Amino acid sequence: MSRPGEMELIARYLAPLATDPGAWGLKDDAATFRPGPGETLVLTHDTLVAGRHFFADDPAHDVAFKSIAVSLSDLAAKTARPAGYLLSLALPKDWTEAWLALFCAGLQDVQTAYGLTLFGGDTVATDGPLVIGVTAFGTIPEGATAPRRTGARPGDLVCVTGTIGAAALGLHVRSKTLAPVRDVERLSLAQQRIAEARYLRPAPPVGALDDVRHLVTASMDVSDGLMGDLSKLCLASGCGAEIALEAVPFDPALKPAIHESRDLLRIAVSGGDDYETLFTILPGDLEEVSNALARHGYRLSCLGVIRRPVGIEATFGGAPFAFGPAYDHFQPQG
* 237 and 294 inside one domain: yes
**CATH code for the domain in which residue 137 is found:** 3.30.1330.10
CA–CA gap between residue 254 and residue 264 (Å, rounded): 10
pLDDT mean over 104-127: 94
* 159 and 72 inside one domain: no
* 37 and 75 inside one domain: yes
Q: Is the pLDDT of residue 332 over 70?
A: no
* Count of domains for the chain: 2
* 37 and 103 inside one domain: yes
Long-range contact set of residues 210-215: C-beta below 8 Å, sequence gap at least 24: 210/79, 210/81, 210/296, 211/292, 211/295, 211/296, 212/285, 212/288, 212/289, 212/292, 212/293, 213/79, 213/140, 213/144, 213/145, 213/146, 213/147, 214/144, 214/145, 215/281, 215/282, 215/285, 215/288, 215/289
pTM of the model: 0.88
Q: Is the pLDDT of residue 202 over 60?
A: yes
* 27 and 67 inside one domain: yes
Domain boundary (87, 112, 141) is at 141
* 36 and 133 inside one domain: yes
Confidence of residue 177 (pLDDT cuts 50, 70, 90): low
Relative to beta strand 157-161, strand 216-222 is unpaired
Q: pLDDT per residue over 62-94, tens digit each? A: 999 999 999 999 999 999 999 999 999 999 999
Residues 6+ apart with CB under 8 A from 72: 82, 110, 114, 136, 204, 206
Q: Which pLDDT score, from 0 to 100, does residue 217 have?
A: 97
CA distances for 121 relative to 67, 73, 106, angstroms: 14, 20, 17
**CATH code for the domain in which residue 241 is found:** 3.90.650.10
Domain boundary (141, 173, 206) is at 141
* DSSP at 321: -
CA–CA gap between residue 203 and residue 185 (Å, rounded): 26
pLDDT mean over 52-58: 85
Give the domain range for residue 28.
Answer: 6-141
Q: Which pLDDT score, from 0 to 100, does residue 328 have?
A: 57
48-62, 141-155, 177-191, range with the lowest pLDDT = 177-191
Q: Is the pLDDT of residue 259 over 80?
A: yes
Q: How many CA atoms lie within 13 A of 133 on its CB side?
A: 12
Q: Is residue 331 part of a domain?
A: no
* 72 and 159 inside one domain: no
Q: Is residue 19 part of a domain?
A: yes
Q: Is residue 11 part of a domain?
A: yes
